[in-house]
C-alpha cells in the first residue's frame, strides 16, 4: 500500500510538474486518501500475502501503514549496521580467522512476497546472504561470512527479521 | 564553506569510503561467497552516500526525489544480484574457501536440473 501511495504521489507531482514541498504534502495526503477509500475494492496480493484473506478496513490500513514505516526504518538501520559490520571484517580480521558457512533456516513465512522481503532483508543485513529457498519453501539457505554459532544466527534471523516480516506479509 | 557544502562532502566521503572498502574486500576475502558480502553490502551504503550527496548538493526536491527513488531501486535490486551470484556459483560448483566450517546445502541440489530438493 505504501508503495501505491508513493507511486500516486510521484504521479501527482509529475502531473503538477512542480516539485515543491507543499506539492509533496498535498500529493501524499491525496494519495493516502485515495488508497484508503479504494482499498476495499483493491485486492492487492502484496497486502494480504496472496491468500485473499482480508479485506482491509481503514483502521487496519492505518495500522499497517505505521507498521510498514517502522519496518522500513528498521530495514534501513539494519543496512547501516551491516555495512559497518562488513567494513570491520574487511579491515580488521585476518582472512584465515573468518569461518564462512552455509546455514539452513526453517521458514515460517508462507507468501511469495514475504519470502522475497525476508530474503532481501537477510542479504542486506550483517554477515548473511540468502542463497536459495528449498522447492517446498520450508527452508531458506543462507551464506554466513563468519559462523561463530550457527544456532545463534538462526535464532537472530527468526526473532528479529522473520517475526517482523510475518506481521506484514504472513 | 556553507553547511550544504560540508554536508555534501561528508556524505560523498562516507559513500566513497564504503565503496573503497568493498574494493578491498574483493581483493582480501578468500572466495566468491565471501566477496559477495563485500560488494553486496558495502556497495549499497557507498552508492547511498554518493546519491544523497548529489541530492544535498542540488538542494531541490526534484533532485532529491530522483535520488531517493534511485536509492530505493538499488536497495531492492542489489540483494537479488547477490543472491543470484551466490546461487549460480553454488550450482556450478565454485570452490569454497578452505576455512568454510559448515555447509547445510551439501547434497541437497539436483545438479542435473538445477533444482533444490526439499
pLDDT of res. B93: 76
Segments making up each domain of chain B, as ranges = 3-96+104-116
Rounded to whole angstroms, how far apart are CA atoms B46 and B21? 9
Confidence bin at B114 (pLDDT 50/70/90): low
Q: Quick one: pLDDT at residue A48? A: 45
pLDDT in the model for residue A101: 83
Alpha carbons within 13 A on the beta-carbon side of B59? 7
What is residue A47's predicted lDDT score, i.e. its pLDDT? 46
pLDDT at res. A51: 40
Q: Which domains does chain A have, with CATH numbers?
A: 94-168 (3.30.70)
- Whether residue B13 is predicted with pLDDT greater than 90 in this model: the reply is yes
User: Cβ contacts of residue A95 below 8 Å, gap of 6+?
Assistant: B28, B29, B30
How far B91 CA lies from chain A's nearest CA (Å)? 10
Cα A134 from chain centre: 20
Q: Is the pLDDT of residue A121 over 80?
A: yes
**C-alpha dihedral sign at B55, B56, B60, B65:** positive
pLDDT at A55 over 60: no
pLDDT higher than threshold 70 for residue A124: yes
DSSP one-letter code for B95: P
Q: Comparing A35-39, A121-125, B5-9, which segment has the lowest mean pLDDT? A: A35-39
| CB-based contact A100 B115, cutoff 8 Å | no
Q: Give the cell for residue A16.
A: 503538477
Interface A–B counts its CB contacts (< 8 A) at 140
Q: For residue B97, what is the nearest residue in chain A, using CA coordinates?
A: A100
Please report the ipTM that was assigned to this predicted complex: 0.75
The three-point CA angle A123-A105-A48 to 5° equals: 75
- The alpha carbon of residue A137 is apart from the nearest alpha carbon of chain B, in Å, by 8
Least confident of A9-18, A35-44, A153-162: A35-44
**Rounded Cα distance, A74 and A118, in Å:** 13
Amino acid at each position: 500500500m505504501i508503495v501505491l501511495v508513493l507511486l500516486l504521489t510521484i504521479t501527482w507531482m509529475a502531473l503538477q510538474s512542480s516539485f515543491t514541498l507543499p506539492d509533496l504534502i498535498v500529493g501524499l495526503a491525496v494519495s493516502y486518501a485515495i488508497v484508503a477509500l479504494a482499498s476495499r475494492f483493491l485486492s492487492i496480493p502484496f497486502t494480504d500475502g496472496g491468500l485473499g484473506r482480508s479485506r482491509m478496513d481503514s483502521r487496519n490500513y492505518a495500522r499497517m501503514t505505521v507498521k510498514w514505516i517502522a519496518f522500513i526504518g528498521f530495514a534501513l538501520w539494519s543496512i547501516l549496521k551491516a555495512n559497518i559490520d562488513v567494513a570491520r571484517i574487511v579491515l580488521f580480521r585476518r582472512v584465515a580467522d573468518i569461518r564462512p558457512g552455509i546455514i539452513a533456516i526453517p521458514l515460517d513465512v508462507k507468501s511469495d512476497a514475504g519470502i522475497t522481503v525476508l530474503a532481501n532483508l537477510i542479504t542486506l543485513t550483517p554477515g548473511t546472504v540468502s542463497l536459495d529457498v528449498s522447492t517446498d519453501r520450508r527452508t531458506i539457505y543462507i551464506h554466513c561470512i563468519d559462523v561463530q554459532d550457527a544456532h545463534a544466527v538462526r535464532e537472530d534471523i527468526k526473532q528479529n527479521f522473520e517475526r517482523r516480516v510475518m506481521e506484514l506479509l504472513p | 564553506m556553507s553547511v550544504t557544502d560540508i554536508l555534501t562532502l561528508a556524505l560523498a566521503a562516507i559513500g566513497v569510503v564504503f565503496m573503497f572498502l568493498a574494493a578491498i574486500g574483493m581483493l582480501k576475502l578468500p572466495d566468491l561467497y565471501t566477496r559477495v558480502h563485500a560488494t553486496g553490502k558495502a556497495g549499497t551504503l557507498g552508492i547511498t552516500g554518493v546519491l544523497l550527496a548529489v541530492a544535498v548538493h542540488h538542494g531541490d526536491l526534484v533532485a532529491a526525489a530522483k535520488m531517493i527513488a534511485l536509492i530505493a531501486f538499488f536497495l531492492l535490486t542489489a540483494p537479488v544480484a547477490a543472491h543470484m551470484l551466490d546461487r549460480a556459483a553454488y550450482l556450478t560448483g565454485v570452490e569454497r574457501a578452505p576455512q568454510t566450517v559448515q555447509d547445510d546445502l551439501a547434497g541437497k541440489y539436483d545438479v542435473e536440473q538445477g533444482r533444490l530438493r526439499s
